[in-house]
Amino acid sequence: MERSSGKIVIYQMMTRLFGNKKTVNKPYGTRDENGVGKFNDINEAALKSLREMGITHVWYTGVLEHAVLTDYTPFNIPLDDADVVKGRAGSPYAIKDYYDVDPDLAMSVPNRREEFDRLLERTHKAGLKAIIDFVPNHVARQYHSDAKPAGVKDLGETDNKNVTFDANNNFYYLPGQSFQVPKEYHALGPDNVFPTKDGKFEETPAKATGNDVFSATPNIHDWFETVKLNYGVDLQAKQTHFDPIPDTWIKMKDILVFWAQKNVDGFRCDMAEMVPVEFWGWVIPQVRVVNPDIVFIAEIYNPQQYHNYIENGKFNYLYDKVQLYDTLRLIVQGKAATSAIHPIQQHLSSVSDNMLHFVENHDEQRVASPFFAGDPWRAVPAMVVSATIDRGPVMIYFGQEVGEPGAGSAGFQANDGRTTIFDYWGVPEHQKWMNEGKFNGDSLSMEQKQLRQFYADVLSLAGKNIALTQGEYLDITAHNLQAGNFPANTSAYLRYSGEERLLIVTTFNAADQLIKVQLPPAAVSALGLDPAGSYIARDLLWREAEVGFNKDFTFELKCKPYSSYIFKIK
C-alpha cells in the first residue's frame, strides 16, 4: 500500500453527545430532559479548533439511524420496541435504517439528511475529512428502511423464513420458535415506563442474535437487541456459499456506495472480523471506484487475522487494541514493563503502517476514570507512544484531551468509567471546552488547558514531522535496560528520516527519577551520526529540556512522574 505523506490523526466524537449543552444528567433522562447534541452544534469554530489541534479526520460516531426510545411518530417514524432497545437513546450499533440518519441529531427532523450534508460540507471546508460507522454484522431487531432508494428491496424482504440458513437469505432463522426478551432485562430500568415496554417482542420465527447466538432466548449479556446478518456463511455447518454472490453482499455494497457518493471520506467498520474477509476483498475495491481515497478501518481483535484483512480484505487500517493498547494500559497501571512494547512492534513490523493506535475510544474506559489511570496526566506517556511509535494513524476520543472521566451512571450504561453510548447525557469536562458552543475552552481550568495543549502539540508533531510520518523505528529500550541506565518503567526509541532524527523517551514513574539514556553503536550508525562528533538533543514537546551527549552518546535526564520527551538530535 502506498505510504501517505502524513499521518492520519482521528478525532472520534459521539455525535449525539458532542454538542449537548444541558447538564441535568438524570439517569434514563429523556431527550428533552438531558438534551442531545445536533449536527448543527458541530459548527465552524469546533471544526477549526480540531484542525488546529492536528486532527485530519473526524469520526462521526452514531450517525446512521438506530433504534431509539423517543417518539418521532409525527414524522412517520414508527415507535421502537423498548424491550429490544438498550438505554433511552439506543445503541448506535443497532441500525434500523442504513439509508437514513438519526433523527435525534437534526434540528428539523424532516431535513435530517440535508443537515448531515451541510455538516459534511463544513467538515471539508475546515480542511478535515469525515468518517462514519458502517455496521455490517448485525442490525436492530426492528430493522426497516423507509429511506431506501426506489427499487431497493429491504433486508429480509425476500428471505425464506422456513429454513435456518439459505445462502441468499439476509438473516438466519429459528423456524417454529418465537423470540423471547431476556427475563432480567428491564427497559429504561424498573421505574420508567414507555408505550412499547411490556417485556415482549414479537418475532416469529426468531432470528439469530448479532453475536452469533442461535437461540430464541438469548441472555442479557448477548447482543439481544440485534440480529445477525447472513453473508453466505452457514455458521452451524461451518460452510461458505459465496458463488453466486450472496444477496447480502450486494445489498451492503449498495449501502456503502450510497454513502461514498454522499462525500463521506471513510468508514469505521464495526466488528469487521465477524464478516467474511472475502466480502471485504470484493466490496472495498468497488467502493474505491467511487472514491479512490476512501478509508476503511476495521475493528478487529484477532492478530492472526491482521494480514488477511489487510492483504485480502483490502482494509487501510486495523485496530491495534489487543496488543499496543492493552499493553500500554497495563504499563500505566504498573502491571507490565516497558520492555513489552518493542516485541509488539517486531510482531507488527510488516503491518505497522496499517495499525490504528489509541488510548481511548467509546468501548474503552476513560483514562481519567478510577478504572484506568485516575489522572489524565498518567496516560500522557502512553499517548506519546501511541502517536509516535510508527507510521500508523492515531486516534483520540472527544473529551480525552480535557481529562473527561466518564463518571456517573447514565442509565443502561453503569458507572464504569465509560461515557455512555446508550443514553442522553452531558459530558461535563468536554462541555467546559465547548463553552456554550463557542468552542474556545474559556471554562477550562488552567490544568485542562495545559492538557489540551499537550494533545495539540503531540498530535501536530505526529501528523507532520517527517521522522514520525515517514521515518524508520529503532528500539533502544532493551539496550538501556541491560546497561542499567533506567528502570523497567521507562521506554526509549528512535524515529528517523534523513536529517530528522528523533529520540522519544517516556517514563511511567510515580515519583521523580534520574535516568541515563545511551545511543548504542548500532543506533549511532543508523542515524548517520559521526562517532567523534558533538550532538545535543532538544525536546520538541515541552520545549523545556535540552541535553548534550557525551563521547559515549549518553546523557542524564531528571524525569518528573509520567513524563515524555520527543528529542530532536542535532
Look up the domain containing 480 and give its range.
Answer: 471-569
For residues 503-507, average pLDDT:
98
**Is 279 found in the same domain as 144?**
yes
**Is 246 found in the same domain as 368?**
yes
What's residue 470's pLDDT?
A: 96
Residue 1 lies in a domain: no
**Is 281 found in the same domain as 258?**
yes
Decide if pLDDT at 4 tops 70: no
Give tens-digit pLDDT for 122-154. 999 999 999 999 999 999 999 999 999 999 999
319 touches 301 (CB < 8 A):
yes
For residues 161-170, average pLDDT:
98
**Is 486 found in the same domain as 351?**
no
CATH number at residue 204: 3.20.20.80
**Is 183 found in the same domain as 156?**
yes
What's residue 386's pLDDT?
A: 98
**Is 414 found in the same domain as 483?**
no
**Based on C-alpha coordinates, what's the Rg of the chain?**
25
What's residue 2's pLDDT?
A: 39
Query: Where residue 450 falls among pLDDT bands split at 50, 70, 90?
Result: very high
What's residue 544's pLDDT?
A: 85
Give tens-digit pLDDT for 244-290. 999 999 999 999 999 999 999 999 999 999 999 999 999 999 999 99
Give the C-alpha separation, 379 to 344, whole Å: 19
Give the C-alpha separation, 472 to 558, whole Å: 27
Chosen domain end from 428, 463, 498: 463
Decide if pLDDT at 176 tops 70: yes
**Is 152 found in the same domain as 56?**
yes
The crossing angle, in degrees rounded to 10, of helices 277-290 and 247-260 is: 30
What's residue 557's pLDDT?
A: 97
Total number of domains constituting the chain: 2
**Is 415 found in the same domain as 549?**
no
**Is 299 found in the same domain as 237?**
yes
Chosen domain end from 463, 479, 505: 463
Give tens-digit pLDDT for 57-97. 999 999 999 999 999 999 999 999 999 999 999 999 999 99
Chosen domain end from 442, 463, 484: 463
Residue 2 lies in a domain: no
Mean pLDDT of the chain: 97
Decide if pLDDT at 547 tops 60: yes
CA distances from 242 to 218, 229, 248 (A): 28, 14, 11
Q: How are beta strands 95-101 and 64-66 bridged, if at all?
A: antiparallel
* Percentage of the chain modeled with pLDDT above 70: 99
Residues in contact with 561: Cβ distance below 8 Å, sequence separation at least 6, in sequence order: 378, 507, 509, 510, 511, 512
Decide if pLDDT at 6 tops 90: no
Residue 3 lies in a domain: no
Give tens-digit pLDDT for 458-467. 999 999 999 9
**Is 431 found in the same domain as 310?**
yes
Residue 244 lies in a domain: yes
Q: How many CB atoms lie within 10 A of CB 436?
A: 10
**Is 542 found in the same domain as 449?**
no
Decide if pLDDT at 3 tops 90: no
Residue 478 lies in a domain: yes
Residue 119 lies in a domain: yes
Q: How many CB atoms lie within 10 A of CB 82?
A: 24
Decide if pLDDT at 477 tops 50: yes
Give tens-digit pLDDT for 186-239. 999 999 999 999 999 999 999 999 999 999 999 999 999 999 999 999 999 999
CATH number at residue 524: 2.60.40.1180
What's residue 318's pLDDT?
A: 98
What's residue 168's pLDDT?
A: 96
Residue 4 lies in a domain: no
What's the whole-model pTM score? 0.97
407 touches 71 (CB < 8 A):
no
Residue 60 lies in a domain: yes
**Is 159 found in the same domain as 104?**
yes
